[in-house]
Amino acid sequence: MRRTLLVLLGMAGLMAFAQTSLKAENPWVRLVPGPVSGAFMTLSNPSDRAIRVIAAESPIAGKVEIHQTTIVKGAGGTDVMQMRPIQFLEIPAKGKVELKPGGYHIMLMMLKEPLQEGKIVRITLRLEGGSTLLVEAPVKAQ
């Protein structure tokens, strides 16, 4: 029984390590007028296990969602871009996922104050298993 407990504790420690190893590279928030903006970055997972981002939050926004942009056929067969919230974003083991305009991104909605170029926006990514990753993203006019 003691050996089983030690094995389980060791596995839990490895899972926590894998989840906290997630890195956010080159984060930024788009400078826009109005109450909605997007945050972009590359999420890098050097661990041997996939990591899921299951939620995001920011003190600057009343609502934050993980979104995916897709192209669908609209009326008359024209291409229409749609943004939809997703339940989670999985970063594969030893892999990367780019959050970029026209793809995956973090939607910052109901902004509590106007964005200013150069200001740092704090975004907390909540990971499956209870870990978090704090991202500090500068506002840029891109």
pLDDT tens, 53-85? 999 999 999 999 999 998 888 788 888 888 999
pTM of the model: 0.82
Q: Which of 22, 18, 20, 40 minimizes the C-alpha distance to 31?
A: 40
Task: Report residue 9 as tokens.
Answer: 């504790």
Would you place residue 5 in the very low, low, confident or very high pLDDT band (cuts 50, 70, 90)? very low
CB 58 within 8 A of CB 66: no
CB atoms within 10 A of CB 120: 12
Reduced to 3 states (helix: H, G, I; strand: E, B; else coil), residue 58 is coil
Using only C-alpha atoms, the chain has a radius of gyration, in whole angstroms, of 18
Higher pLDDT, 15 or 83: 83
